[in-house]
Amino acid sequence: MATTSKKAAPGAAAKAPRRAAAKAAPKTSQKAMPKAAANAAPDEEAGQEGAAGEASATEAIYLSLLYAIMEHRLLAGTKLVEERLCEVTGASRARIRQVFARLAHEKLVTLVPNRGAFVSSPTVDEAREVFQARRVVEPALAAELAQRATPAKVRSLRRHAMEEDNARARGDRAAMIRLSGEFHILLAEMAGNAILEKLIREMVSLTCLIITLYDRPGAPACAEHEHRQLIDAIEQRDAARASALMAEHLEHIEGSLDLSMPDSGAPDFYSIFSKG
């Protein structure tokens, strides 16, 4: 997560919704994403396909926006223009609003009365809360998974780590950011608790957003060797080590962020003019 700027750049990202919505959900790592994405149909076909088709078309729009946020193609603070999304996706306003409502429920989008929908800008306090929650949940999930590891699960984790390596090798930062988040979703999925899995999905997406706001240039959020060490511990069914490694890994991610900034958008003139 190296070079994103700290401030949201609504101007620069103004055209991103068109690009994001037009692009189909990537084929990689669908195992970590909801299954409906694979069969998503455009709106025109939805009428013929009935409720299932409509649901999957809504899901496809949701996933396009989710991926765009996770991959930093849509930055915090960007306005999501309803009309433009209708135009690009062929979906009705009602459907776009439905997607916004879901993203707002997941705290990724903020709905402002009379102004519209914006990609959320989590505060420093919210960022700390997300990591605090992740530190509570994910080490326990890693331990749980270590206890129920199977060769098939370990193979699947290693395949995912390989995808991360490939993205890194071809310098595809967007995919790297998304895949490193999806590694955590995959772990949660395999640990077999649907409620915690849903929670992790939401926290991972929020973390991607937090990284766009607070990362220090040059600091990678998920070091690949840490994912591999985790997989090794899971393969060895060493629950205590898996738990400890996950706790350390999350500390490293949080440590790579600059959460020392004041929350207020007002400039701190005292520190600007202070010579001491």
Q: Given the rule CB under 5 A, which residues bind Zn ion? A: 222
Neighbouring C-beta atoms of residue 44, cutoff 10 Å: 10
Report in angstroms how near the CB of residue 140 gets to Zn ion at its nearest: 16
Closer to Zn ion by CB, 57 or 222: give it. 222
The residue whose two tokens read 């629950």 is: 239
Neighbouring C-beta atoms of residue 137, cutoff 10 Å: 19
Closer to Zn ion by CB, 73 or 249: give it. 249
Report in angstroms how near the CB of residue 139 gets to Zn ion at its nearest: 13
Closer to Zn ion by CB, 20 or 200: give it. 200
Report in angstroms how near the CB of residue 200 gets to Zn ion at its nearest: 11
Report in angstroms how near the CB of residue 222 gets to Zn ion at its nearest: 3
Closest residue to Zn ion, judged by C-beta, is 222
Q: Which residues share a beta bridge with 118?
A: 79, 110
Closer to Zn ion by CB, 73 or 178: give it. 178
Region of 72 (left: φ > 0; alpha: ψ -120 to 50; beta: rest) is left
Report in angstroms how near the CB of residue 183 gets to Zn ion at its nearest: 5
Distances in Å between the alpha carbon of 78 and those of 70, 125, 128? Answer: 14, 21, 22
Distances in Å between the alpha carbon of 200 and those of 41, 43, 139, 181, 203? Answer: 27, 30, 12, 10, 5
Closer to Zn ion by CB, 46 or 234: give it. 234
